[in-house]
A and B are shown apart, each in its own frame.
Chain A
Amino acid sequence: MGTGRKLASALLKTALRHSSAESRCWAEAMLGELDFVESDWAALRWAVGGSTALLRHSASRRGSRWLTRALGPEGEPTSSRKKALGAVLGVGLAGAILALGVCGLWRHLVVLLPQAHWERATIAVIAALEVAYLRGAIALWRHRRPVAVGILLAAVALTVHVAIHTQASHESHLTGPDEFR
């Protein structure tokens, strides 16, 4: 047995150990096919793809069990609850991307740019994020509409927030610092 096949087998066995009860049978199915895959390289690809699918399946089963428990005795989440959760997920996703973008911006900003340019750079990064949100929402609109709606809501909230901030800073520039003394 070649190294690639050994690695593939080890990978699928690890996935099998960590699989949920519902996914275990599928992990065994993938492992059973491994002996019939021709080359070591193909076996490794088979194992990587299979393990990813198993992890996703296990995670979704565990997630839906948790959801059923969290939503109380009524059991199965209703369609409107699913939509609401999708929208919350979209907002969360947009928030995480924003946090990453802002962190990345500040790391570079402090080192590379003088303070006078910070505001413009922040607006440029936020504009890029808005474009990314819009593209993401368009891509998800057909199959994951609630998530797309969540992303759009976050984009609108961010735009309003930036507009208010920009206006406030503009007004403070116009009135001058003496007013606040």
Chain B
Amino acid sequence: MKPPRLRRSPQTLQVLDFFLSSPKEWKHGYDISQSTGLLSGTLYPVLMRMAERGLLETRWETPEGGRPPRHLYRFTAEGLRYARELRAERSGSKARKALLHPRKT
């Protein structure tokens, strides 16, 4: 399978981290925006790219009281693996940086 190529912008990493915090739970767009502090114009392009690359699965939820249906998002197995690998890679590079440039106390 073709590996998912996702631009690793700080905003994308923020969204990936947010989904990693509870990977099994379905999330609403507005809740993601509130938790990450990303505005809709930044958040949705990230979600679109993640869904197009098969990292996110989506479904619709019909709320009570005649409100319009809401879109929900969750990691796919591929998305979860990708996010975990990326996190491991990032923490590895942070550790390497810390070793190469130790802070003076």
Check: A164 CB closer than 8 A to any chain B CB.
no
Contact indicator B44/A30 (Cβ below 8 Å)? yes
Main secondary structure of the interface of A (DSSP, over half): helix
Main secondary structure of the interface of B (DSSP, over half): helix
Contact indicator B41/A32 (Cβ below 8 Å)? no
Contact indicator B68/A57 (Cβ below 8 Å)? no
Check: B81 CB closer than 8 A to any chain A CB.
no
**A interface, CB within 8 angstroms of B:** 25-26, 28-37, 45-50, 52-54, 56-57, 143
Chain B residues with Cβ under 8 A from A49's Cβ?
Answer: 39-42, 44
**B interface, CB within 8 angstroms of A:** 7, 28-30, 33, 39-42, 44-45, 47-48, 67-71
Specify which of B45, B68, B69 is in contact with A53 (CB 8 Å cutoff): B45
Specify which of B7, B41, B47, B71 is in contact with A52 (CB 8 Å cutoff): B41
Contact indicator B7/A33 (Cβ below 8 Å)? no
With A30-B29, A33-B30, A36-B30: A53-B71 Cβ-Cβ less than 8 Å: no
Closest A-B pairs by Cβ, 9 of them: A49-B41, A29-B71, A49-B40, A50-B40, A33-B30, A53-B44, A32-B70, A32-B68, A49-B39
In the complex, what distance in Å separates the CA atom of A30 from the CA atom of B39? 12
Q: List 18 contacting pairs A-B, 8 Å CB cutoff, sorted by A.
A: A25-B71, A26-B47, A26-B48, A26-B71, A29-B44, A30-B40, A31-B68, A33-B29, A37-B30, A45-B39, A49-B39, A50-B40, A50-B44, A53-B41, A53-B44, A54-B44, A56-B45, A57-B44
Contact indicator A57/B29 (Cβ below 8 Å)? no
In the complex, which of the residues B33, B39, B44, B47 has the most CB atoms of chain A within 10 Å of its own CB atom? B44
In the complex, what distance in Å separates the CA atom of A57 from the CA atom of B43? 13
Closest A residue, CB atoms, query B46: A53
Name the distance in Å between B52's Cβ and chain A's nearest Cβ: 9
In the complex, what distance in Å separates the CA atom of A54 from the CA atom of B41? 8
Specify which of A25, A33, A45, A46 is in contact with B28 (CB 8 Å cutoff): A33
Contact indicator B41/A29 (Cβ below 8 Å)? no
Chain A residues with Cβ under 8 A from B30's Cβ?
Answer: 33, 36-37, 46
Contact indicator B41/A28 (Cβ below 8 Å)? no
Name the distance in Å between B48's Cβ and chain A's nearest Cβ: 6
Specify which of A47, A57, A143 is in contact with B7 (CB 8 Å cutoff): A143
In the complex, what distance in Å separates the CA atom of A29 from the CA atom of B68? 9
With A26-B48, A36-B28, A37-B30: A50-B41 Cβ-Cβ less than 8 Å: yes
Contact indicator B44/A32 (Cβ below 8 Å)? no
In the complex, what distance in Å separates the CA atom of A42 from the CA atom of B40? 10
Chain A residues with Cβ under 8 A from B33's Cβ?
Answer: 46
Name the distance in Å between A61's Cβ and chain B's nearest Cβ: 10
